[in-house]
């Protein structure tokens, strides 16, 4: 079994807050990340899939195929968007790095399975210092 890793990138705005909390409580919990006028990040998205290389092509999967799936089902929906307001698959979730990673996993997992391979990890780097990895349930 081989693990194939693809790195992609998107830029987005977000705000961490709970509507039912006061601004003070939001700031106490989420700090600067609850700024009412939003802030944003350059997100690095690293998707790892696993499978056996085809004896015919030497590929686990053609990276173009994987990259196009990520582009259509994730990047086009989040790049240059507001994670709280613009992204259907984040509705109802606070856009922490944790929740975004889980939501991206849920987008990609069935599509990767259809290719005859398996999704192994969604890694999301909000900054160089703050990173999350999700391997599914």
User: Could you tell me the smallest distance in angstroms from the CB atom of residue 131 to a second copy?
Assistant: 4
φ/ψ of 123, rounded to 5, equals -110, 130
* Residue 72 interacting with a second copy (CB under 8 A): no
User: Could you tell me the smallest distance in angstroms from the CB atom of residue 113 to a second copy?
Assistant: 20
Residues pairing with 11 in the sheet: 42
- Asked if residue 90 lies in contact with residue 100, where contact means CB atoms within 8 angstroms, the answer is yes
Residues pairing with 45 in the sheet: 8, 124
* Residue 4 interacting with a second copy (CB under 8 A): yes
CA distance 94 to 132: 15
Residue 63, SS3?
helix
* Residue 116 interacting with a second copy (CB under 8 A): no
Q: Residue 52: is it exposed, middle or buried by C-beta count within 10 angstroms (0-12/13-18/19+)?
A: exposed
User: Could you tell me the smallest distance in angstroms from the CB atom of residue 107 to a second copy?
Assistant: 16
Site for a second copy in 37-56 (CB under 8 A): 37-42, 48, 53, 56
Contact set with a second copy (CB under 8 A):
1-9, 11-14, 16, 18, 29-33, 35, 37-42, 48, 53, 56-60, 62-64, 79-82, 85-86, 93-96, 98-99, 101-102, 127-135
Give the residue numbers annotated as catalytic, written as ranges.
Answer: 33, 80, 126
């Amino acid at each position: 079994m081989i693990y194939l890793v693809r790195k992609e990138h998107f830029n987005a705005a977000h705000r961490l807050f709970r509507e039912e909390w006061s601004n003070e409580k939001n700031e106490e919990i989420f700090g600067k990340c609850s700024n009412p006028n939003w802030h944003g990040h350059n997100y690095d998205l690293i998707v790892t899939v696993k499978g056996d290389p085809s004896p015919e092509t030497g590929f686990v999967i053609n990276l173009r195929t994987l990259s196009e799936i990520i582009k259509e089902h994730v990047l086009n929906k989040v790049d240059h968007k507001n994670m709280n307001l613009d992204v259907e698959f984040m509705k109802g979730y606070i856009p922490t790095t944790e929740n975004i990673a889980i939501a991206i996993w849920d987008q990609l997992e069935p599509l990767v399975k259809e290719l005859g391979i398996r999704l192994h990890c969604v890694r999301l780097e909000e900054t160089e210092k703050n990173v999350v990895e999700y391997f599914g349930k």
